[in-house]
Structure 1
Amino acid sequence: MKTFIRSTLFILLIVLAMLIGRHFLQSSQGLNGNKVINFYNWGDYIDPELLEQFQEETGYVVVYETFDSNEAMLTKVQQGGTNYDLIGPSEYMVENMIEQNLLEEIDHDLLPNLKHISPDFLDQTFDPGNNYSIPYFWGTLGILYNTQEIKEGEITGWNDLWNEKYREKIMIIDGAREVLGIGLQSFGYSLNETDSQQLMKAAKKMKTLMPNILALLADEIKMYAVMEEAPIAITYSGEAASAIDENENLAYMVPEEGSNIWFDTLAIPKGAQNIEGAHALMDFLMQPEVAAQNAEYIGYATPNGSALNLMDPEIIEDPAFYPDQALVDKLEVYRDLGQEKLIEYNDLYLEIKLEPR
């Protein structure tokens, strides 16, 4: 017991020394609250060179932390304790956080570069007037396929995935909204359907797809697609773009029935200590040259209209990643459906995952 107590005290002393050391280091470098910007965002979702450039130009120091889901980010913000100045919620989470009064209003006067954002991506239903968020990246959910096994035009929509020849040949993103959404859109229903009968109908159809599913995966789906573990993968456009860069046999398409169009944003959480710094970083990221570099690094589509003129034409002319208006009109944003419907979606999704193959 004494050994345990001594070990515990030793560990506590080390932690205390680290905290004190960090405090003095920040003080010696002048890193007070006015100079530090705590940025909570998705992993590998900004070009590190741009962070260095911003810090050199402004004197701010960016502390970058990452999350792997909107829900994890929300929980951290709700719990408090860590004062983030800038966060990267997706569209439905912005809507959720506005309702919970968890976001600060944005001062557009501090964002002169907001003028570079295409009007098509402003004033969305989840944040009318962009009072609480600004667009960061956007993209789609679609089908990544290996052209050595799947001919171009062989798959044109979600309904083609039920072909018996694709048995155990499909990898799919592990998510309730995504999986149920495929079933819903295969019937022509909305991605934001709340009618329980239609939800059950979509779930029943998705259960019949399970024999064709090799695996339900998260971020590793890109790696397995590159390694050609399966010829078909349901994933997001940015992941698809990165995979295509690593394997020239891969191609990406958006189903003809429509799909999800998502928006990742930048927002300031309630309680932020450096609101001025947060605005400065947001405005920096909207500079056309910066946005272009960031988009080419990340692989997702930029909402910055001025940046498009600075990017490789081969990238922005690819309809798979920058779809035309006719296809965009068939795409839907996920809406916040409330806790009750979220539970219903998750329960139905669990039934789908447990379906014998």
Structure 2
Amino acid sequence: MAVSLKRVWPAFAIPTLMMLLLQSTLSFGQERVLRVLNYSEYIDGEVLTLFEEETGIRVIYDEYESTEEAWAKLKVGGAGYDVVIMAYTHIKLAIDQGLLRKLDKTRLPNIVNLDPEMSVNPADPMQEYTVPYMWGTTGIAYL
């Protein structure tokens, strides 16, 4: 039986966004906003609504269909994103081009709970810019 990503995603989306939210720079007294750039159809709109209701933080959720579209959005308005989800194969280039900011790990207390073996990213071996977003495998079976 296949499991739909849309069905299991809420279990991962809210904790992930909440952990990453600690990294964002939110000013006291101003509207709290979290700007996210992610692949299209990865987070259901209902999950974002629940997150906003539970935290009082408004989410501006930008989606992209292709790597080229993501690069265009990052280069034009990249400084405005608090969370950027991209394939690990593109992270090194984003770091080299100055499109990502180093994480302030003092604001990510739950980072110690990550499995070190699952957190290895050759593009960011010291995890200065990244934290794992999700893990999965894709397989094809022929009968």
TM-score of Structure 1 vs Structure 2, range by shorter chain: 0.5 to 0.7
Cα distance, 1:69 vs structure 2: 2.0
Decide which structure has the larger Cα Rg and report it. 1
Aligned to 1:135, the other structure's residue is in SS state coil
What residue number does 2:108 align with?
A: 111
The percentage of counterpart residues that share the same residue type is 36
Give the whole-Å Cα distance in 2 for the aligned partners of 1:50 and 1:121: 25
Quick check: which one's helix share is greater?
1
- Residues 67 and 73 in structure 1, CA contact (< 8 A), matched pair in contact too: yes
Amino acid at match of 2:53: E
Aligned residue pairs total: 115
Counterpart secondary structure, 2:121: coil
Cross-structure match for 1:50: 47
Q: Which residue of 2 aligns with 1:37?
A: 34
Deviation at 1:83, TM superposition (A): 2.7
Q: Secondary structure at the match of 1:118?
A: coil
Q: What is the CA–CA distance in structure 1 between the aligned matches of 2:90 and 2:78, rounded to whole Å?
A: 20
8 Å CA contact retained: 2:92, 2:123: yes
Work out which of the residue numbers 53, 56, 59 in structure 1 matches 2:56. 59
Q: 1:82 to 1:33 in 2, by over 3 A?
A: farther
Contact 1:42 1:68 in 2 (8 A): yes
Corresponding residue SS for 1:105 = coil
Gaps of 5+ in 2: 1-28
CA–CA separation in structure 2 for the residues paired with 1:46 and 1:75 = 21
Q: Structure 1's 128 and 81: CA in aligned 2 closer, same or farther, altered over 3 A?
A: closer
2:69 to 57, 68, 72: 72
Alpha-carbon contact 1:39-1:63 (below 8 Å) kept: yes
- The residue number in structure 2 matching 1:128 is 125
Paired residue secondary structure (2:51): helix
In the TM superposition, residue 85 of structure 1 has moved relative to its aligned partner by: 2.3
The offset of 1:127, in angstroms, is: 0.7
Q: Distance in 2 between matches of 1:135 and 1:100?
A: 21
Structure 1 vs Structure 2 CA RMSD: 2.4
| Cα displacement (A) at 1:33 | 6.5
Residue 140 of structure 2 corresponds to which residue in structure 1? 143
Q: Name the SS of the counterpart of 1:65 in structure 2.
A: strand
**Please, which runs of 5 or more residues in structure 1 have no aligned partner?**
1-31, 151-357
Return the match for 1:92 from 89, 92, 107: 89
Q: Deviations over 1:219-250 (max 9, x none)?
A: xxxxxxxxxxxxxxxxxxxxxxxxxxxxxxxx
